[in-house]
Amino acid sequence: MDISRDEQRILHLLAQGGKILLEKDERKAITDIICLTRDGARYTACDIRLFRKLKQKKAIASSGGGPYRVTRRGLQLVRAELDNR
* pLDDT for residue 19 is more than 80: yes
Q: Which domain holds residue 47?
A: 5-77
Strands (E), the chain: 19-24, 30-36, 42-43, 60-62, 68-70
In a domain, 84, yes or no: no
Average pLDDT, the chain: 90
Which pLDDT score, from 0 to 100, does residue 84 have? 52
* pLDDT for residue 80 is more than 80: no
In a domain, 83, yes or no: no
In a domain, 20, yes or no: yes
**Number of compact structural domains in the chain:** 1
